[in-house]
Structure 1
Amino acid sequence: MRLLVVCLGNICRSPMGEGALRRRIAQSPLTGRVELDSAGTSDWHIGRAPDPRAIACARGHGVDIGGLKARQLLREDFDRFDLILCADQGNLEDARALAPAGAAHKAVLWLPWAGMPGEAVPDPYYGDGRDFEHSWALVDAAAQATVRRLSAAADSGIIGP
Structure 2
Amino acid sequence: MIKVLFVCLGNICRSPTAEGVFRDKVKKQNLSNYVSTDSCGTAAYHVGSPPDTRSLQAGIARGYDFTDLRARKVKLKDFDEFDLICAMDQNNYDDLIAFAPDQHHQKVIKFLSFAMNFSEEDVPDPYYGGPKGFERVLDLIEDASDGLILKLKDTLQR
Aligned runs of 1:1-161 on 2, under 5 Å? 1-114=2-115, 117-152=119-154, 156=155, 159-161=156-158
Structure 2 gap segments, 5+ residues each: none
Secondary structure of 2:37's counterpart equals: strand
What amino acid does structure 1 have at the position aligned with 2:35?
V
The 2-side partners of 1:14 and 1:101 are apart by: 23
The 2-side partners of 1:141 and 1:114 are apart by: 5
**CA deviation map 1:89-122 (0-9, x unaligned):** 0000001111013111111001114555221000
The 2-side partners of 1:114 and 1:95 are apart by: 20
RMSD (CA atoms): 1.2
Secondary structure of 2:31's counterpart equals: coil
TM-score (norm 1): 0.93
| Structure 2 contact 23–36 (Cα < 8 Å) conserved | no
The 2-side partners of 1:75 and 1:97 are apart by: 11
Secondary structure of 1:57's counterpart equals: helix
The Cα of 1:29 is off from its aligned counterpart by: 4.0
Report percent identity of matched pairs: 38
What amino acid does structure 2 have at the position aligned with 1:51?
D
Secondary structure of 2:19's counterpart equals: helix
- The alpha-carbon distance between structure 1 residues 55 and 140, as it changes in their structure 2 partners (threshold 3 A), is same
What amino acid does structure 2 have at the position aligned with 1:87?
M
The 1-side partners of 2:120 and 2:33 are apart by: 30
